[in-house]
Structure 1
Amino acid sequence: MGAPGIFALPRASLRWLPVYLRNLRVWRKLALASVVGNIADPLIVLVAFGYGLGRLLPEVAGVPYILFLAAGSLCMSTMTAASFESLYSAFSRMHVQKTWESLLNAPLELDDVVLAEWLWAATKSLFSGVAIMAVVWVLGISRAPTLPLALGVVVLTGLCFGAIGLCFNALARGYDFFTYYFTLIMTPMIFLSGVYYPVSALPDWLAPVAGALPLAAAVELARPLVIGEWPQDWLRPLATLLGFAGGALYLALVLTRRRFAA
């Protein structure tokens, strides 16, 4: 069986599983440091802004500010973890350590490696999301019966940003390239996606643009669940996350095939 063309759809198989398990075994050696590193920033934001700014701004959209912020921190933590894994870690395995080239000497295709990296990035983000949810529960910020359902949003968010990260990974020639992604894409997205304040507070011309962002869709789905409600308009943000995840994964496959074919 030959390698697929650059624009071919991925072939369905389970050959990605050994690559995924390989990443899992390597990660287990540094699991604690990895999880702490991924959740430190959103946890500091949650505690500092939630309790600090929350004293000056008791409520936002009718709920305590720290509860409002909890959903945003949950999604931001998931996005950050998935992005770091699909950028820095995947790039190290692909370009620096040449792990991908070694794997391709086995009966694997490049698609198998990319799919494994994608699913592994989503798994790493799930660990971070669960850690943030545990903190939210332990601190009593939210103990709503719908809170566990937010794990579904965490999984979708991880899949979405893992795929987006792999697109930039395929284009990168060095670690410095990722500064553009974090500075020009992730940081503005955080401020536009309802993490710290409602999207409705943005100017009329900017709110529709912000509402179409994948992080905004994740926050829109997660916030009612964290508060203890069911998302009312859930179909649109769900379709946004699925669309970004599927489209970015296909683009990542195309860009990665093109890079290895060069």
Structure 2
Amino acid sequence: MTAVTAHLLTYYRQTWRDSAFNSFILPLCLLIGIGWSVGRHVDQSLGVPYLSYVAPGLLAAAVTQVAAAESAWSVYGGFEWSRIYHAMRVTPARISDILMGHLGYVVLRSVIAGAGFLAVVAAFGVPRSWWALAVLPLAVLIALAVAAPVFAVSASIRHPGMFDVLFRLGIIPMSLLSGVYFPLATLPVPVRAAVLLLPLSHATELVRMCVLGDVRAGAAAVHILCLLAWAGFGFLLARAAFTRRLSD
């Protein structure tokens, strides 16, 4: 498992500067363009300034999007383009090692993105509590809850065009409707019920609790359990898909 992660990190050493740059520039642009600029025209009925409200949601969405993107084309390419997974199968690495090693790399990339976003959020003076530091371990869980199901999809499809469907009908709508930009209570009840099934809605609430220092143990436990369910079920699906694909 560690050998697989180390292999992917070796490649990342050549490209980390671009991703590190984006980890600071993207949140800076989002917080200025949405949190500060748009926020000046939003009323204060949220209980906190709009910048403070939207920043944690944007952080959770950034971790989600990085996890999804890193779990899509690179996983598909491991089967179809570079066939690196098939090469790994002739080594002592087991299928579970390949899967967990790549998942570990995706989690690391997502946590780096989350840490960069948190640093920018802190520079804006948004965090109200030391609980904000809990965002980093939470980023691990959020990344797993998103990456594991996407791994399953990437290992199952036969054409990369299916990623257009996944992102346009899955990841992007989830990012727009999961309470990142507005309270879920403003959604119609049927839509809100559907959104509450999605991992980002729980991730957003958890990160917002921590950043704003409003941690409620009962609610946090529910959100964590939902993310664990996504991560666990997604991992089972991904392992089955990897096993089926590498047994062809």
TM-score range, shorter chain: over 0.9
1:18 deviation in Å? 0.7
The answer to whether the 8 Å contact 2:145/2:227 transfers is: yes
- Which consecutive residues of structure 2, in runs of 5 or more, have no partner in the other structure? none
1:237 deviation in Å? 0.9
Which residue of 2 is the match for residue 163 of structure 1?
148
The answer to whether the 8 Å contact 1:38/1:80 transfers is: no
- Pick closer, same or farther for the CA change 1:30–1:202 going to 2, 3 Å: same
Tell me whether 1:45 sits opposite 2:30 in the alignment: yes
Structure 2: distance between partners of 1:161 and 1:119: 13
The answer to whether the 8 Å contact 1:38/1:81 transfers is: no
Structure 1: distance between partners of 2:153 and 2:173: 17
Which residue of 2 is the match for residue 216 of structure 1?
201
Aligned length: 247
Report the AA paired with residue 232 of structure 2: G
Of the three residues 88, 91, 105, the one matched with 2:90 is: 105
Cα deviation, 1:142-201, whole Å, max 9, x if unaligned, reads 253211012122111011111021011112323322111110111111122100101111
Alignment of 1:1-262 (within 5 A): 16-37=1-22, 41-142=26-127, 144-232=129-217, 233-262=219-248
Structure 2: distance between partners of 1:121 and 1:174: 22
Percent of aligned positions that are identical: 27
1:261 deviation in Å? 2.2
The answer to whether the 8 Å contact 2:126/2:211 transfers is: no
- Which consecutive residues of structure 1, in runs of 5 or more, have no partner in the other structure? 1-15
Report the AA paired with residue 213 of structure 1: L
Over 4 Å off, 4+ runs: 37-43
Structure 1: distance between partners of 2:69 and 2:23: 8
Report the AA paired with residue 106 of structure 2: A
Structure 1: distance between partners of 2:3 and 2:105: 11
Cα deviation, 1:110-136, whole Å, max 9, x if unaligned, reads 221011111111111000000000001
- Pick closer, same or farther for the CA change 1:178–1:41 going to 2, 3 Å: farther
- Pick closer, same or farther for the CA change 1:44–1:91 going to 2, 3 Å: farther
1:56 deviation in Å? 0.1
Output the aligned Cα RMSD.
1.7
- TM-score normalised per structure 2: 0.93
